[in-house]
Amino acid sequence: MTIFDIPVHTLNGEPSSLAPYAGKTVLVVNVASKCGLTPQYEGLERLQTTYEDRGFSVVGFPCNQFLGQEPGTAEEIQTFCSTTYGVTFPLFEKIDVNGENQSPIYASLNQTADAEGYSGDIRWNFEKFLIDPSGAVQRFAPTVTPDDPILVGAIEGALG
């Protein structure tokens, strides 16, 4: 089983999975609406619109595990993201990325080390995992912004 097979729910609570993204380039991000890094939504949306025609998508998983920075309901999260940042990429249900109730998607992803060699628990909101069409995963720290040349280069490399 890959992360594309793991059952998840859309932000609206509908059963889903990441299966539609299998074989594509995907940037999985744990997001939050009340974080100092929240303005990264703007850059994530720019990545979405720049590369979506080439088989790329950002997918966001709201998470309230870091100082309660995603306290909203699904409707509040959707409204905030669409009206404040014009988010069009898919948002899934609010999940735990660490701990006892950790999503199986993150249990799989957090085994990947970033460029500094860090693996394990998610450190903060907006940690990023780039999955290429072959399923290879690259991890990027929360402070790596969506317009960072390292991340953009990795996306372009994965897209071929």
State the catalytic residues.
35
According to DSSP, the β-strands at 137-140 and 56-62 are unpaired
- How far apart CA 113 and CA 32 sit, in angstroms, is 22
Q: Which helix (H) or strand (E) holds 15?
A: strand 15-16
